Amino acid sequence: MASYPSALKLASQYLHDNQIAKAQGVLEIALSTFDTTTEVIPVPLLKATDLIAVASKLSNDGEKEKALRYLKSARDELKIAETLGYVSRSDNSYAMLYDAIKAVKKEIQGKNRAEKLFDTLKAKLKDFKEKVFSETSQ
């Protein structure tokens, strides 16, 4: 990044001196130093995260049936991610997430509040996503 201002000044000087080819050459060299990075982001995992967050809010607001539907959708998104092959090194990560969703559902259907279980589920999903993202970017 430090070399770009110098390259722009030099190219500007060449343009001012009507040496267009030299200015173009300087700019091409400067642009060739850019590096691109491609990051794969598993959309189903992002959707599952958002669905769980909404389910948590709905559960806290007393809308249990809607929260359960959102949790089902989150589980469906995790199934899609698993089918597409987004995995971490831990083979039981999806099973762990499915179990956590099942526990939250059970708690929502009961008389208790599921806030702590939602927090646990969110933490597990966050940890899982970080593992998947770090492994897909290598």
Residue given tokens 């999903």 in the structure block: 125
Higher pLDDT, 51 or 91: 51
Domain extent listing, the chain? 1-36, 43-136
Q: What is the CATH number of domain 43-136?
A: 1.20.120
Over residues 116-138, the pLDDT tens digits come to 788 888 888 888 877 776 654 44
- Give the separation between CA 57 and CA 63, rounded to whole angstroms: 9
The pLDDT assigned to 9 comes to: 92
The pLDDT assigned to 76 comes to: 96
| Percent over 90 (pLDDT), the chain | 40
The pLDDT assigned to 79 comes to: 93
Over the range 28-64, which residues count as b (16 or more CB within 10 Å of their CB) and which as e?
Answer: eebeeeeeeeeeeebebbebbbebbebbbebbeeeeb
Count Cβ atoms within 10 A of the Cβ of residue 76 and give its class: 0-12 exposed, 13-18 middle, 19 or more buried.
middle
Q: At what angle do helices 64-84 and 93-109 cross, to 10 degrees?
A: 170
The pLDDT assigned to 72 comes to: 96
Contact 104, 121 (CB under 8 A): yes
Over residues 79-92, the pLDDT tens digits come to 999 898 887 666 56
pTM: 0.62
